[in-house]
Amino acid sequence: MDCIFCRIAAGEIPADVIYTDEEVIAFRDINPQAPVHVLIIPGEHIASLAELPEEKSVLVGHMVDVANRLARSEGISESGYRVVMNCGRQGGQDVLHLHMHLVGGRQLAGSFG
């Protein structure tokens, strides 16, 4: 399978990785939409939220914990931030490997574009 985020997770292509643990990797988005724009992905390939088995839903809670932790270390915890998971084509998902966007560092506009 040719998945760009699997290749980042495997260290096969470069990324600005700022956090890793046994379950997830976080790296800066290549096309940032705000001063802070980080992607948090599971190491395991899961295509989207729609493909997440119920028994693995705890993984998303862990991704939220990591997003909160990174919001603190990036200095946007107090000012505020947005956590987004796009799912499927109409949900705006371009990369078919589950990921959470952590976005902040500027005033963000309405959520449902």
Q: Is 99 a catalytic residue?
A: yes
Question: Contact with ligand AMP (CB under 6 A): which of 35, 68, 92, 108?
Answer: 92
Q: How many CB atoms lie within 10 A of CB 5?
A: 21
Nearer to ligand AMP, 30 or 50 (CB): 30
CA–CA gap between residue 41 and residue 45 (Å, rounded): 9
Q: CA torsion angle for 88, 94, 98, 103 (degrees, to 10)?
A: -110
Please identify which of the residues 37, 97, 99, 101 carries the catalytic annotation: 99
CB 82 within 8 A of CB 103: yes
- Shortest approach of ligand AMP to residue 28 CB, angstroms? 7
Residues annotated as catalytic (active site), given as ranges = 99
* Positions in the binding site for ligand AMP (CB under 6 A): 4, 15, 27, 29-31, 39, 86, 92-95
